[in-house]
A and B are shown apart, each in its own frame.
Chain A
Amino acid sequence: MARHLTFEHAGNEFEAELAKVSREHLYGSVRILTRDANDGRCTTATLASDGRTLIPKGGTALGYVNTEGDWITRDELQPMSLAGEPLSEVPSSFDAPILLDETVDETTLLDHSVRLCYRLVVDGELPALFRKALDKDSIFRFGFSYRGGIGHDPAFVYASEEALWMLVTDANDVRFVSLEQAALCGTSSIDDETDDDSENEDGLDFGML
């Protein structure tokens, strides 16, 4: 069942339903099927370092241990920032109205990588002041947490010609570089996925990706 968020802008509240939009919704999907020489279905398993022990899907778990290798239960863990300051838990964004009081420019949004894309479906009219702000290309930024927990994810609300959108993102570390700052070593972050094909009207075919 779709969930609803409550937003507050300039003292006016409105509710919006979250409708997730993904590549599968737009272009379809590709599923990889693996077969053996006899056309039998194959699945993945984990092979332990002894070269003999096969571990099925779900046969491993992650746990926390201290420096002595002793088990630490989840409720004993203390979340800290990288600066060493204790972090407190934040409530779910569905628990209270989200205040839309910060606007940013396109460059700020472009500094973030989009993780989730939602269409906001509003039943009825948007508050007049909010509509006016959207018409002026305003982009609203706020912190979003689906279930609550440690910290918020940066999220943005803005309108295109088609719809009102909410993007949940990851912040990036984009820095100006000068002549002295030639390339440093690092890793890229292009994740593996699978896709399909379809057409795009302006010649940029995203379905083929």
Chain B
Amino acid sequence: MPNINIADKRGRDAVVKAESVRIEDPVRYLGPRGNASYTRRILKSTIDHDHDALSKEADSPEALAVALTESDPDIDVERFGQFLFHTSRVWIGSDDEPVFSIKQLEEIRNPLGEITETRDRERVEPNVDGDIPLSWTGTLIPRREAIRRYVFASKLQIVHVNGLTYDFLHGMAKELDKAKSLLLLGAGKSGKDPLVFRRGSVPYRGFLEGRTRGDSYVLLLHLSNMELKLPVDPDATPVDAS
């Protein structure tokens, strides 16, 4: 649950909490007799049993095929099928050995999938809980318009941490509820930067929505990194760059 340093219309700021509103998977699976079931990660193969390793050992593809049918060199019956716990993710080189020093590049592609630039990887620093609070930009977008302009992929509920911040956030929610609008929040000195929650994570535009019901309130931070609009060429299919 991240902290958020946020300022109101008057420029007063406070550090409050942002809670997840995601609902956990509503489906669970039971075993055949109604007992609980659990998922386990299982070993299927290791790097010294993959196609490249076996090909090196065999003289030819034909010899490998014969070995596969006669002696199952691709299967280690002692180990395959064992449960895996506490695994780590590592980088390996073309020799299948771990690599301890890497450099990363970003290959930029346009909407048609064409490479436009290659550069060193940039990792943006978090900016939601620093010395500079998220600023109240004053840009209000009516709810009706907001859902037709932006795709809100994620959201966080801003909540108070004590009595003082309750008054502070309730006041913001009340004002936004009255306006029936979402407020654009900006980060950084300029107050225009997108919001970054963790180093190198996706930057999002933040839109604050408020609702009140008596003494209770909802202050929702809607996060968007995409507009609801047609592509430049709606018929074009971009190259998958995943």
Contact = CB atoms under 8 A, between A and B. Distances in A.
Given A48-B43, A76-B32, A179 B215 contact: yes
A10 interface: no
Contacts of B118: 33
Interface string A39-53: 011111111110001
Interface string A111-122: 101110101000
B172 to A, nearest CB: 13
B23 interface: yes
Q: How large is the interface on A (under 10, 10 to 19, 20 to 34, 35 or more residues)?
A: 35 or more
Contacts of A172: 21-23, 155
Q: How large is the interface on B (under 10, 10 to 19, 20 to 34, 35 or more residues)?
A: 35 or more
B77 interface: no
Contacts of B230: 21, 119, 162-163
A65 B90 contact: no
Contacts of A23: 225-226
Interface in A115-164: 115, 117, 119, 137, 139, 150-151, 158, 160-163
Given A46-B87, A55-B43, A186-B1, A30 B94 contact: no
Given A61-B41, A80-B29, A110-B220, A25 B99 contact: no
Interface of A: 19, 21-37, 40-49, 53-56, 58-67, 72, 76-82, 87, 106-107, 109-111, 113-115, 117, 119, 137, 139, 150-151, 158, 160-163, 165, 167, 170-179, 181-197, 200, 204, 206, 208-209
5 contacts: A34-B105, A54-B90, A81-B26, A181-B159, A197-B108
